[in-house]
Chain A
Amino acid sequence: MAPVSVRSIRKAYGSHPVIHGVDLEIADGEFVVLVGPSGCGKSTLLRMIAGLEDITSGAIAIDGRVVNDAAPRDRDIAMVFQNYALYPHMNVAQNMGFSLKLKKADPAAITTRVNRAADILSLRPLLERYPRELSGGQRQRVAMGRAIVRDPKVFLFDEPLSNLDAKLRVGMRAEMKSLHQRLKTTTVYVTHDQIEAMTLADKIVVMHDGVVQQIGAPMELYDRPANTFVASFIGSPSMNLIEGVYTAGDGEAFIKADDGTGLPIAGRLNVPAGERVIYGIRPEDLVAGTNGLPAEVLVFEPTGAEAHVIARIATSNVVVVLRDRRAYQPGETIYVQPDLSRVHLFSKSSGKRIG
């Protein structure tokens, strides 16, 4: 276990910059998830922590020691790869014990530690099998086993669940969380799946185009996204964003959508009237009732516990999550009332949160 410190990290491939200065402090035992769309630089950042990519500038420290020039093997880290990268010519036990063998550990100690890790991950019956004889989920477990056998300072996970089917992924996700609660090893986890990020992380780092957009606890990001990118990326279905103009006269302040619809807000904003803003409201914070904003139903999607209604408010399509078990017809008009305490407002020009 060890803290990890990432200071002003930049990465460029030739003249093409991919990471533009990332600062990140990871506390001892913390589970940090780097999340963002493909190509945002999250995997590159993880690989730089692992020592598999050169650092263009900045510093990475593990347990207080700057490791910029240290080889991966000198960093005391363990990594789980997206494709598992199990050695095809070694059986499960050999795969798991490989790193200890390299350290010239006592064979009896290797067996003990492999068995202990195998017990944690229910791999005991598979120890003699080769990777080609395992299912995707079992391979994933072996890859995790290989990491935990080493008892490293830091675990690095590079989209470890993305090759599994949906059901297995949910199961493994819970297993990873309980594993972390048990081992309490500092973990950096990369994913593009915001649900994985929300469920696993102590701290989420949202990245986009090589820049950190926001760092915070999952619910902090959900409740107070710093900008429109985080607002739309975190949460599923994602937040509704409607453009409008901040209107504040003598009476109540509101956001006037482009077709003239008034979108209510809780108080006054700290921006001049007439400023273009983006009005954000999460689908579950729109409450259907007999009064409120008129919305024309476009598509009705029942998902079981709840239903997603795609409707038009002002000139924007929005999603409303309803739990009233009623089927809505396309063309029907419903009335939705935004929960004013949960309205998010962003500047149109900068995309940043203003209220």
Chain B
Amino acid sequence: MTSKSRSLISKCVITAFCGLLVLVYLFPYTWMVMTAFRSPVDSFERPPKFFFQPTLDGVRYLFEVVEFNGYLISSTIVTLVTVLATIVIAVPAAYAVAHVEKNSKSFLIFILVARMIPGIAIVVPVYLLASQFRLLDTYQVLVLMNIAFNLPFAIWLLRSFFIEVHPGLREAALVDGCSEVQVLTLVMSPLVLGGIMATAVFVFIAVWNEFLFALVLSGPHTATAPIAVLGFRTAFGIQWDSMSAAAFLISAPVIVFAFIMQRYLVQGLTMGSIK
């Protein structure tokens, strides 16, 4: 066998493997989207139906009966406030640990501890505390818990972006007449804008999908969209069409957001690996 035909074969194998991977990842999602726009009767056809008459019944039920928009509004409020607050706190913190305070290692390890404890381990004490302070079913407690869980990650990720900026720029800015806050806002932040965006996207995805704290701490007024999905499992069966429609509507903003921010996401994931 010549080396040319051998490389052709290896290319074919790799392409087939990649195709398989795409199928494995995309098929469940595609199936879910199809279920969302298929009547329950079509959904249970054997063999499965790939071509069908699309219907909006599931979506209609979602908004008319379940009042899904209320859940979406809760999710939006919790997510936006958390992302904003996390970035506002994490950016100066990351700048400080990267450039200002040289002995920041113990602080960095300290904040990582918050991330190492699984949510399930603290959810009961948090529930009891929230109940004591009459914070159950409020946006405050959801936002607070989401900030607490995402802040360490945000600081760590942002720090890696800030460290890439040459320390001489901070010194030049200080000599030029900047205060530390001005160094951060006028010199550093514009240079790590991509990193800030990437961090915001990661936090957005994490908070938008957050389930455990929302399940335990929210109530009728503040339940977020992922909680709504649970409601389609009733004593009479599972409402596959509405559940899929809800899942589709929950995932759509994340996918759109991730798609738009793709460039920054890749930059965030590969930070430091390429020079």
Contact = CB atoms under 8 A, between A and B. Distances in A.
A9 B172 CA distance: 23
Contacts of A50: 171, 175
Contacts of A235: none
Interface residues of B, number: 16
B168 A103 contact: no
B134 interface: no
B111 interface: no
Contact of A89 (B166, B179, B191): B191
B64 interface: no
Contacts of B187: 87
Given A81-B168, A85-B169, A89-B191, A103 B175 contact: no
B177 A79 contact: no
Nearest to B182: A102
Contacts of A51: 174-175
Given A73-B178, A78-B175, A86-B172, 16 more contacts: A51-B174, A52-B175, A71-B179, A73-B174, A73-B177, A77-B175, A78-B176, A79-B171, A81-B168, A85-B168, A98-B173, A98-B176, A99-B176, A99-B177, A102-B177, A102-B178
Contacts of A89: 190-191
A72 B175 contact: yes
- Counting chain B CB atoms within 10 Å of each CB, the highest count among A50, A52, A78, A86 belongs to A52
Contacts of A98: 173, 176
3 closest A-B pairs by beta carbon, nearest first, are A85-B172, A85-B168, A99-B176
Contact of A88 (B173, B175, B176, B191): B191
Contacts of B178: 73, 102
B171 A81 contact: yes
Contacts of B173: 87, 98
A316 interface: no
A182 B179 CA distance: 31
A188 B129 CA distance: 61
A146 B171 CA distance: 14
10 contacts: A50-B171, A52-B174, A71-B174, A72-B174, A78-B175, A79-B175, A81-B172, A83-B166, A86-B172, A89-B190
Interface in A144-189: 146, 150, 156
A89 to B, nearest CB: 5
Contact of B176 (A83, A102, A156): A102
- Most chain A CB within a 10 A radius of its CB, from B168, B174, B175, B178: B175
A132 B239 CA distance: 59
Interface in B169-223: 169, 171-179, 182, 187, 190-191
Contacts of A86: 172
A349 to B, nearest CB: 41
A11 to B, nearest CB: 15
A73 B169 contact: no
User: Quick one: which of B172, B174, B190 has the most chain A CB within 10 A?
Assistant: B172
A150 B171 CA distance: 16
A102 B174 CA distance: 11
A73 B179 contact: yes
Contacts of B191: 88-89
Contact of A103 (B169, B174, B177, B179): B177
Contacts of A150: 176
A73 B175 contact: yes
Interface in A33-58: 50-52
Most buried by B among A73, A85, A86, A88: A85
A72 B178 CA distance: 9
Contacts of B168: 81, 83, 85
Interface string A257-279: 00000000000000000000000
Interface in B19-35: none
Interface string B149-180: 00000000000000000101101111111110
Contacts of B166: 83, 85
Contacts of A85: 166, 168-169, 171-172
Nearest to A89: B190
Interface string A68-82: 000111000111010
A89 B194 CA distance: 13
B243 to A, nearest CB: 47
A146 B174 contact: no
Contacts of A73: 174-179
A52 B175 CA distance: 8
Contacts of B179: 71, 73
B194 to A, nearest CB: 12
A69 B187 CA distance: 24
B176 to A, nearest CB: 4
B3 to A, nearest CB: 42
B170 to A, nearest CB: 9
Given A87-B187, A99-B177, A79 B172 contact: yes
Nearest to A76: B177
Contacts of A87: 169, 172-173, 187
Contacts of B171: 50, 52, 72, 79, 81, 85
A266 to B, nearest CB: 50
Contacts of A88: 191
A52 B167 CA distance: 11
Nearest to A82: B168
